[in-house]
Each structure stands twice: as C-alpha cells, then as structure tokens.
Amino acid sequence: MAESAANWFVDQFRCPVCLDGLKEPVTIPCGHSYCMSCITDCWGQKEQGPPYCCPQCRESFSQRPLLKKNTLIAEMMETLQKTSLQTTAVECDVCTTEKSRAVKSCLQCLASFCQTHLQPHYQSPAFMKHKLVEASRNIQENICLSHGKLLEIYCQDDHQSICCLCTDDHKGHSLVSLDSNWTRKKEELNETKVSCQKLIQERERGQRELSESLKLLTSSALETMEDFEKVFAELICSLEKKRSEIKEQIRAQEKTEIDRAEELHRHLDQELTELRKRQAEIEKLLITEDQVNFLKSCQSVCPLPSFENVPMTQHTLFKDISSSMFKEVLEDVFQQQTARISREVSNVYVTNPPEPKTKNDFLQYIWDINLDLNTAHNSLKLSDDKRKILSSDTAQQYPDQPERFNERPYILSRDGLYGRFYWEVECSGDEWAVGACYSGIRRKGSTDDCALGFNKMSWRLGYYLKIFSYIHAQNKVSIPVSSRVGVYLDHKAGSLSFYRVSDTMTLLHRVQTTFTEPLYPAFKVGNRSSVRIIELKKEQVSTLFCSANESLYERVRIPLYSTKLEIETNGSDVTYSQVQ
C-alpha cells in the first residue's frame, strides 16, 4: 500500500518532456514544471525561437524566461526518492540478525544478497558464472514453473520465455537466447522512443503553427472589418456630399425659374394696364353721339399696340425626376458586390476541409451558375428562367461580341471560380458536354484551341457519337454513361471531379493538376440536345475557412472589394457610374 502511494506521488512529479522524475526542477511563468535540461533543450531547438512556448499549455513568452531551480519541488523529489528506496528495498536472504538491504539477486541461487554476502559471487570460481541482476522481490518469475529451471530461452513463435527443458514442446519454433532477444527488443524500443519523440516534436510544431495561423486569421478578420468600415464611411461621406450638391442644384434651378417667371409676370402686368386703358377709351367713344369727334378720336384708338405672343404654360416639375432610379442603382451595385465578397469570405479556412463524400457534403459548396449570354453561340437559346440551354434550329439574333463563340456551340458562366464549388446538370440528346475552362480560351474559329477539352486551357466530360468520355488536351478516357452529372471544383487543391448523381455520389473521373487561373463553368449543347442546370438547396451551412489563395499555416487575407459611385449631374439628368 505504501509502495503504490509512493509511486502515485512520484507520477505527479514527472517531467512532461522526458517522462521521468523531475531532475533539477524549474517552473516557468505559466506554472508548469520541467527538468532544467529538458526545457533548455526544447527551447534550444532550431525551429524554436521567439516567442518561446510552454510545451504543455502552449502559452508563449516574447522573451526567454529566466530558469531557476524550484527548491520546494527539488526537496519533495528527494524525499519521495528516499521513501521509494525504503519502501521497495529488498532484504538480504543470508543475513540472520539485522537484515541488510540487498544489492543484487542471483538467478541461479534464487536469492538476494547484500554487499557483504555478495562477495563470494565475485571471488569464488564456483559462483562467477551465476547471473546477477538488480535486487528484486520477483526473482521467482525468472524460474520455469514446470521444471524449476531458469528461463533463459525465448520462443519467438509463441512469444514466451522458456527453460532448456521446455524446448521439446517448442520443436520447429524459432528459439533465441533470452539475452539476445532482450537486447534486440531494447534496441527496437529505443528506435520506437526516437520515432515517438519525433512525432511529438512534429505535433508540437503543428500546434504552434496552428495557433499562429489562428492569430493571423483573427487579426486578418479584424483588419478586413476595419477596411470595410473605412470604405463604408467614405461611401457615406461621398453620398452625403452628392446629396448636398443635388439639393443645391435643385434650389438653384428653382430660383432661376422663379426669377424668370416673376419677370414675365411684371411684363404681363404692364401690357394688361395698357390694354385696359385702351378698352376704357373705346367704350367711351362707343357711347358718344358726336359723329365728328367720334371719327376724329377713332383713328387714335383703333390700332392696338403690338405685343409678343403670351407663351403657353409648359412645365416640368421636380417630382417628375425619378429618385427611385438612384435607389435601384445603389441596390443593384451593393447586391452584386455583397455576393462577390460573400463568395470570397466563404472560401476562407484555416485547416484543410475533408473531401466531400455524401450528397449533403457536396451541398455545402453549391454554386448557382449565372450563364453569360454574351458568350453563347447563336445556335443556343436559354429558357425563361435562364437555367436550361437548348439547341435551336433557328439562329438567334445575338449582337456580335468579342467573347462570343462564333463556330462552337458553347456558352460559359459569367463568373470565374477560385475556391471550392459544386454544381449539377441534367443532360439529354446525342451531343452535349459539361466542363470548365480558363477565360483565355479562343472564341473565334473551329480549331482545337477553341474546342472545349482539346487544349490545355479546358477540361470536359461529354457525350458524342454514342461515346461518353472525359477529354483534356486531346487525351480521351471513356467512362460509363450518366445523364445527371455533378461537378466539384477544389481550385486550391487542383482538383476537378465529375460524379454520377443518384442516391449516392459515384466518381466518374477526377482531374488532379495545378490551376493557375479562375475556372469558368462551360457547356456544349449540340443538335437536338439540351443541358439544364439543377437548382439545388443547401441542407447544411458550411463554416470552412482556409484562404483559396494560400497554403496551410500561411497568413489568411480576405480580398477587399470596395464599392464606390461617381455621380454626375447635367440639368435634370443624373448619371451613376460604378468604380471598382
């Protein structure tokens, strides 16, 4: 009981590095204790530098702590060692009166001896061949229970120690001496210990790097939020300035029109006064009976003074200016940029997420593809919901665009992808393909550098001439047919995978390469064929968080896309321009 208690106390004061009892114990500022040599060696490694970390709790110190011997723990360790020696001491089997502590046990004599009674084993030739070991209470465990002989042989087949008489029961087995097997096993354990120490060091280094990455992630997030706060503050300030300018312009225009109207009003008042005076004179002549005077005065009042035509009242009110147009432009810009930033934020992660396997795993990375009609060949048309691509017998009247395919029946996504994304399509007909390409793929002509999958800038999975295959750089791999295809992109890992979608996800083909640019989802729809982009719903919310542009443990930085507006006014016209 005393022995187990002493052992328990000794276990409480083991060094976490060497796992032995603390030797010259030191306590660092976080409160953990180590052997002086162990913590010195740990901090002296090449990869360990400022800040210095505690191997247990990972608390870091900007300067290397000054190490001083912990006298209290040292005294406790000394007391425990004495107690352990007293408790575990083996008594000499030869001493008759006062028993002395044994220093060696003899496996041939099956007895333990003190220093005095051990001398015959050193001096007498009869005892010199006896095998001596450290004094032990369990010396009987070295004797065969069946034959009473010393266990000096090891059976490697049965993994047990045997005596020389037990060999008859182990015929044909691989037998070695106990000493040689003990030496070999000890060497193996030493090698295992070294490997274990290396693994511990690698894990400790991984913990340090992960902790550093988390610090960088936190500081990056804070810095990015501050950037956004600054951008929005500048945007608000800009909008306030433009609001004041528009209000001033409205007031100036109001004053100009009021002054012009008042001037016209005064002019009309003068003309009214003159006309009313002439009207009074005419009425007075009309009632006179003096014909001579009437005819004489009539000549002076008959011709009316010449006046300019009174302008018709035509007005445009300020309320006719559509302020809702301003709101719609802002909402559209903010919606586009917010979606763009959201995509970048969702591709931030610290540890590499596991490869998706189930349908729900893939649904974490759903990407709703927006087709770019400016790239569509004129034999293709879209459904009203812009999700289905159909082959048309009638050429569509699309305007000529530099990015439009003029020979190949292709259409691309509007957005390039630079992270982890998943999309799904349902295909029908005899000539169709789904895949991805760089934006630099040629659009004009019908040569291989324009053909999806027939160059190094594009990858595709498709059905043509009743053959279902994967093609890249003219290399073709035939695979089982599937009309419903899921496409999963991990841009950073250089992986583009195609799956047959049913109750389970079956891998059809996987590309493993290094992508140097964003990838644009691409579709081919030939004669009497169609491709429909499936509308999926997220069933799980992803919180991944490792930058698509940076490797593990590197600094994570969320790209900042600021949104600004330039507002120009010209009379009653207002022009809004987005600046990126």
Cα–Cα distance between 366 and 537 in angstroms, integer?
8
The verdict on residue 323 lying in a domain is no
Residue 217: its H or E element: helix 178-286
- Answer whether residue 268 is part of any domain: yes
Do 218 and 281 lie in a common domain?
A: yes
* Six token digits for residue 459: 């990858």
Residue 101 domain-assigned (yes or no): no
What is d(CA 115, CA 185) in angstroms, rounded to the nearest whole number?
31
The angle formed by the CA atoms of residues 45, 50 and 54, to the nearest 5 degrees, is 70
| Backbone φ and ψ of 142, nearest 5° | -90, 5
Residue 529 lies in a domain: yes
Write phi, then psi, for 106 (nearest 5 degrees): -105, 125
Domain of residue 496, residue span: 359-534
202 within a domain of the structure (yes/no): yes
For residues 372 and 301, membership in a common domain is answered with no
Q: Indicate the residue among 291, 306, 321 that finishes a domain.
A: 306
Contact between 375 and 411 under an 8 Å Cβ cutoff? The reply is yes
Contact status, residue 88 vs residue 134, Cβ threshold 8 Å: no
Is 123 contained in some domain?
no
Final residue belonging to a domain, choices 23, 53, 87: 87
The whole-angstrom separation of Cα 332 and Cα 565 is 12
* DSSP one-letter code for 353: P
Task: Please say which residue of 61, 87, 113 terminates a domain.
Answer: 87
Spatial CA neighbour of 316 closest among 535, 109, 521, 571: 571
- Give the residue carrying structure tokens 């593809």: 369
Looking at residue 357, the DSSP 8-state letter turns out to be -
Residues 364 and 302 in one domain: no
Structural domain count of the chain:
3
For residue 378, give every residue at least 6 positions away whose Cβ sits within 8 Å of its Cβ, in sequence order, or none: 395, 396, 397, 398, 404
Query: Can you tell me whether residue 49 is helix, strand or coil?
Result: coil
Query: 554 phi and psi, to 5 degrees?
Result: -85, 165
Domain of 491, CATH number, reads 2.60.120.920
Residue-level pLDDT at 345: 72
Same domain, 72 and 216: no
d(CA 368, CA 374): 18
Do 368 and 510 belong to one domain?
yes
Q: Same domain for 297 and 423?
A: no
Mean pLDDT by 10 residues, the chain (580 residues): 54 80 88 88 70 84 85 82 63 86 85 89 86 80 81 89 89 89 90 88 83 85 89 88 87 89 88 86 83 78 66 64 71 74 68 82 91 96 95 94 96 92 96 96 95 96 94 94 95 93 92 94 96 78 32 31 40 41
DSSP secondary structure, 503-557, as one string: SSEEEEEEEE----S-BEEEEEE-TT-EEEE-----SS-----B-TTS-TTSPP-
- The label of the residue with tokens 């990858």 reads 459
DSSP string, 378-434: TTEEE-TTS-EEEE-SSPP-PPP-TTS-SSS-EEEESS-B-SEEEEEEEEESSEEEE
Q: What is the spatial distance between Cα 364 and Cα 490, in angstroms, rounded to a whole number?
A: 13
pLDDT of res. 352: 66
Query: How far apart are alpha carbons 151 and 311 in whole angstroms?
Result: 130
Distances (CA, A) of 345 to 465, 516, 557: 43, 20, 10
Separation of alpha carbons 405 and 396, rounded Å: 13
> Looking at residue 379, what is its pLDDT?
96
580 part of a folded domain: no
User: In the chain, what are the helix, strand and coil shares in percent, each to the nearest 5?
Assistant: 35, 25, 40
Residue 9 located in a structural domain: yes
Shared domain check, 292 and 190? yes
Quick one: which H or E segment has residue 576? strand 573-579
| Same domain flag for 293 and 374 | no
365 with 499, same domain: the answer is yes
Domain match, 387 and 505 both: yes
Question: Residue 24's domain is classified under what CATH number?
Answer: 3.30.40.10
Q: Are 245 and 391 contained in the same domain? A: no
Work out the angle at residue 319's Cα, subtended by the Cα atoms of residues 313 and 325, and round it to the nearest 5 degrees. Answer: 135
Number of residues written out for the chain: 580
Spatial distance between the Cα atoms of 461 and 524, rounded to a whole number of angstroms: 10
380 and 491 belong to one structural domain: yes
